[in-house]
């Protein structure tokens, strides 16, 4: 029981009203590890540093006032609240409840009931014991953790897709461990979506290390964790010959050669302890356990044994002392090679499939992404790899993500809201049996409408699953002409029902073999296509993500030229702000407002919570008081905005919030923030009609942006700068389209 929990539990048992209980608990400062006993008895302020609540717990003046109120209640005589605090003080730190280990299995040499007390778990017939995992082995029992790994399912699904698409059955356990294409992937740091090696830090070190053997992956897996991470640069330098490989004793080369003289694994210490100190295999295993469990007392006892055994073999005591000191430091992060090897092997298998069968592997990864954020992240990786991820297609999509004949990944029909598993199975089964659907009318004739109902068809149309039928665009399925009551999709459904009814009636008559009257398909009324924004909204409604584009696709120029930071980079900066040399730097973020919550506090003040999203991720932030009233008119769901601000430390807390200084509509960025537009061109690339266009455009769109030409002749090393002096222009879409079409020219923007 922690401080607050002990107060609440005691208050409940002693029938203290809930309002009073919550009031007592709120007097306990919100600090991790706060101790009720110290709050009640420790000095509030003291000249002796490190002993008072102000010094040790870092309590501020408001929190000190709360502690004073708590002590006043504690010192009262025979009041219910005082009794609660006295009992809570006694019970603090007690075990409140027990939990069952998610994967801990105990294995015994004989009947468990003869060795330890057991009971039946609360919610299952499993046997459990209350002996803690750290102590259980002292009863002559071993404890094993059997963990599930999603990566193994991803591998299985990828192998199934490879067999399905290429007719190749791969035995993943027999792939070569020296595959050049796989190591090329590691050397480039292209490890997103692979097991264990996908973090940005790991990618950086892989590019420096350039692994070319499986042992490098084992070592990196063991080294990339807090503590040993400091040795990675030295490991890299020794591998590439930029640093000398040294051994404290020549005999140590036998076991440290593979890691370039750096102790990386527990097994190396075990073998060296046997070789140098004369340890038995049993003693070496005790040493391994002591290192793994950070048992300093055991390590201290074994030091004398090691020094004595090794010195008797003629090794200098000073050197042995240094070796043992290094091992003690190693005990802080000791990692066993067997564990690292297993992880490295699974990681290598994922990298092998990503290198050789990228479409199938990434499809399997997408099917197990687990969240919209992860799904978007992995789709961006597909884009980087040159693999197109397309929306659902009624003639190509399967239940989940899958690869088509062109190597493109198709969104699965099962991922659409309102499309059930039975409907997807029915559509795929009919397609496999009768071939591709030729048009929407043939599709409605062939499917079972009891399984594929109107809601399913609407979701399929919203997501673009029928785009392969060119006779209708998405808006036509939902368009209702003036004076009529049926949409295009309802006409199609009615047509399918009539055809199915006719087929059933003809099959139950004496003249069932006679030809039936063919029913002509209905005419679907024409209408304008949906604007891209509407189309994307419909896609996100049923798929959870944008499929045929992104609202920011129209703002590529702004994202490139106006110092805008990707949301993922901003969040990484914020999460590591303690390491930043300039934590107060200004940021510009641009994204789509995907959520806007407007609320009223108890005090009556209005505030809001907002989420913006770009290609890389999401960022949520609140707005209060004047900022809310000033900025909220622009912060509407579905709006593209640019935020300007900086990270500001919260009062008396080690937390930072994004202080927004300005919000601007995305469409206003070019017009308002462009100080100068510079065009770099070779004189030979200038054509009279191009110059005429720029002169004409400048007259049509006058503004405050200055225009500068840099005419550069690199052969003769000549450079001429032409700058407007009087009239300037306003950046406009017509000019941008013109400049984007001129690949010979470079464009630079100096933002305000």
118: in domain: no
Tokens 């149309």 -> residue: 461
**Dihedral of CA 487/488/494/497: which sign?**
negative
520: in domain: yes
Give the pLDDT score at 507: 64
Give the pLDDT score at 438: 95
- Are 257 and 331 in the same domain? yes
Q: What whole-number distance in Å separates Cα of residue 198 and Cα of residue 347?
A: 10
Q: What whole-number distance in Å separates Cα of residue 691 and Cα of residue 114?
A: 95
- Angle formed by the axes of helices 214-223 and 337-356, nearest 10°: 120
Residue 62 vs residues 27, 30, 54, 153, 554: alpha-carbon distances, Å = 10, 12, 11, 53, 50
234: in domain: yes
Tens of pLDDT along 161-201?
999 999 999 999 999 999 999 999 999 999 999 999 999 88
Residue (of 610, 575, 569) closest to 589 by Cα position: 569
Boundary of a domain, candidates 646, 670, 694: 670
- Are 318 and 445 in the same domain? no
75: in domain: yes
Give the pLDDT score at 367: 95
- Are 455 and 317 in the same domain? no
Give the pLDDT score at 143: 87
Q: What whole-number distance in Å separates Cα of residue 380 and Cα of residue 358?
A: 14
User: Which residues of the chain register pLDDT less than 50?
Assistant: none
Q: What whole-number distance in Å separates Cα of residue 447 and Cα of residue 460?
A: 14
Q: What whole-number distance in Å separates Cα of residue 268 and Cα of residue 288?
A: 10
Residue 242 CB-density burial (10 A; 0-12 exposed, 13-18 middle, 19+ buried): exposed
164: in domain: yes
Give the pLDDT score at 609: 92
- Are 446 and 565 in the same domain? no
- Are 181 and 259 in the same domain? yes
- Decide: 564 and 652 in contact? Cβ < 8 Å: no
Q: How many domains does the chain have?
A: 5
Q: What whole-number distance in Å separates Cα of residue 710 and Cα of residue 698?
A: 18
Give the pLDDT score at 516: 60
Tens of pLDDT along 498-546?
988 887 777 665 555 556 667 889 999 999 999 887 898 899 899 988 8
Q: What whole-number distance in Å separates Cα of residue 723 and Cα of residue 400?
A: 56
Report the percent of the chain where pLDDT is more than 90.
50
471: in domain: yes
244: in domain: yes
Q: What whole-number distance in Å separates Cα of residue 607 and Cα of residue 597?
A: 9
- Decide: 457 and 441 in contact? Cβ < 8 Å: no
- Are 308 and 320 in the same domain? yes
Give the pLDDT score at 350: 97
Strand partners, 593: 612
End-to-end CA separation in angstroms for the chain: 56
287: in domain: yes
- Are 345 and 421 in the same domain? no
- Decide: 66 and 3 in contact? Cβ < 8 Å: no
Boundary of a domain, candidates 59, 91, 123: 91
- Are 595 and 678 in the same domain? no
- Are 743 and 710 in the same domain? yes
Q: Which two three-digit tokens encode residue 204?
A: 């950086």
Q: Which two three-digit tokens encode residue 240?
A: 């590439």
CATH number at residue 638: 2.40.50.140
Boundary of a domain, candidates 351, 381, 406: 351
The residues, ordered by sequence, that sit 6+ positions from 273 with a Cβ below 8 Å of its Cβ are 279, 283, 284, 287, 306
- Cα pseudo-dihedral 508, 513, 515, 521, rounded to 10: 40
- Are 196 and 337 in the same domain? yes
Give the pLDDT score at 430: 94
Residue 36: give the domain boundaries: 3-91
- Are 618 and 689 in the same domain? no
- Are 516 and 657 in the same domain? no
């Amino acid at each position: 029981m922690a401080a607050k929990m002990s107060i609440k539990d005691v208050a409940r048992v002693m029938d203290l009203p809930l309002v009073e209980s919550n009031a007592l608990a709120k007097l306990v400062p919100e600090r991790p590890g706060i101790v009720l006993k110290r709050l009640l008895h420790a000095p509030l302020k003291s000249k002796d540093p490190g002993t008072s609540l102000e010094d040790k717990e870092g309590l501020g003046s408001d929190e000190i006032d709360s502690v004073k109120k708590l002590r006043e209640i504690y010192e009262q005589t025979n009041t219910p609240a005082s009794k609660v605090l006295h009992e809570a003080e006694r019970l603090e730190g007690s075990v409140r409840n027990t939990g069952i280990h998610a994967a801990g299995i105990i294995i015994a040499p004989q009947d468990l009931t003869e060795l330890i007390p057991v009971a039946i778990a609360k919610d299952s017939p499993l046997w459990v014991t209350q002996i803690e995992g750290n102590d259980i082995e002292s009863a002559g029992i071993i404890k094993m953790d059997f963990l599930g790994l999603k990566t193994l399912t991803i591998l299985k699904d990828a192998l199934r897709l490879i067999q399905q698409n290429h007719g190749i059955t791969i035995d993943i356990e027999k792939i070569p461990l020296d595959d050049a294409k796989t190591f090329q992937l590691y050397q480039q740091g292209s490890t997103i979506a692979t097991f264990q090696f996908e973090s940005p830090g790991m990618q950086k070190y892989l590019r420096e290390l350039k692994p070319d053997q499986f042992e490098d992956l084992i070592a990196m897996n063991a080294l990339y964790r807090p503590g040993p991470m400091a040795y990675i640069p030295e490991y890299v330098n020794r591998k590439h010959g930029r640093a000398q490989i040294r051994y404290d004793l020549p005999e140590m080369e036998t076991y440290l050669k593979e890691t370039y003289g750096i102790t990386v694994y527990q097994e190396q210490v075990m073998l060296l302890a046997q070789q140098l100190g004369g340890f038995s295999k049993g003693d070496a295993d005790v040493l391994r356990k002591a290192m793994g469990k950070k048992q300093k007392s055991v390590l201290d006892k074994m030091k004398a044994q090691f020094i004595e055994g090794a010195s008797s073999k003629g090794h200098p005591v000073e050197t042995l002392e240094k070796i043992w000191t290094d091992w003690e430091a190693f005990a802080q992060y000791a990692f066993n090679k067997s564990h690292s090897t297993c992880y490295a092997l699974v990681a290598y298998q994922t990298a092998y499939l990503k290198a050789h069968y990228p479409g199938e592997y990434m499809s399997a990864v997408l099917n197990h992404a687990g969240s919209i954020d992860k799904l978007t992240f992995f789709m961006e990786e597909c884009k980087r790899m040159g693999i197109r991820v397309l929306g659902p297609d009624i003639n190509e999509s399967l239940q989940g993500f899958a690869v088509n004949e062109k190597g493109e990944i198709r969104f699965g029909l099962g991922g659409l809201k309102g499309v059930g598993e039975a409907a997807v199975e029915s559509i795929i089964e009919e397609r496999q049996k009768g071939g591709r659907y030729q048009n929407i009318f043939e599709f409605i004739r062939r499917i079972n409408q009891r399984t594929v109902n109107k809601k399913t068809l609407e979701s399929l149309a919203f997501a673009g699953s029928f785009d392969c039928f060119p006779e209708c665009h998405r808006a036509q399925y939902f368009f209702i002409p003036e004076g009529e009551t049926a949409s295009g999709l309802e006409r199609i459904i009615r047509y399918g029902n009539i055809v199915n009814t006719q087929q059933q009636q003809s099959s139950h008559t004496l003249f069932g073999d006679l030809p039936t009257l063919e029913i002509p398909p209905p005419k679907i009324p024409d209408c304008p296509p949906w604007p891209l924004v509407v189309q994307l909204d419909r896609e996100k409604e049923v798929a959870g993500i944008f499929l045929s584009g992104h609202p920011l696709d129209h703002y590529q120029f702004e994202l490139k030229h106006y110092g805008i930071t990707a949301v993922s980079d901003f969040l990484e900066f914020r999460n590591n702000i303690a390491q930043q040399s300039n934590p107060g730097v200004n940021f510009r973020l641009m994204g789509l407002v995907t959520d806007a919550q407007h609320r009223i506090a108890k005090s009556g003040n209005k505030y809001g919570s907002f989420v913006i999203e770009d290609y890389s991720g999401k960022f949520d932030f609140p707005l209060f008081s004047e900022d809310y009233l000033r900025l909220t008119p622009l912060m509407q769901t579905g709006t593209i905005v640019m935020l300007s601000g900086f990270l500001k430390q919260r009062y008396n807390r080690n937390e930072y919030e994004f202080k927004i200084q300005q919000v601007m509509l995305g469409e206003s960025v070019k017009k308002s923030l462009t100080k100068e537009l510079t065009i770099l061109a070779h004189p030979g690339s200038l054509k009279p009609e191009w110059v005429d266009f720029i002169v004409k455009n400048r007259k049509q769109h006058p503004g405050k942006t200055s225009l500068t030409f840099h005419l550069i002749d690199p052969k003769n090393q000549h450079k001429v700068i032409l700058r407007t002096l009087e009239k300037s222009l306003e950046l406009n879409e017509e000019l941008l389209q013109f400049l984007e079409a001129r690949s010979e020219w470079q464009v630079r923007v100096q933002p305000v």
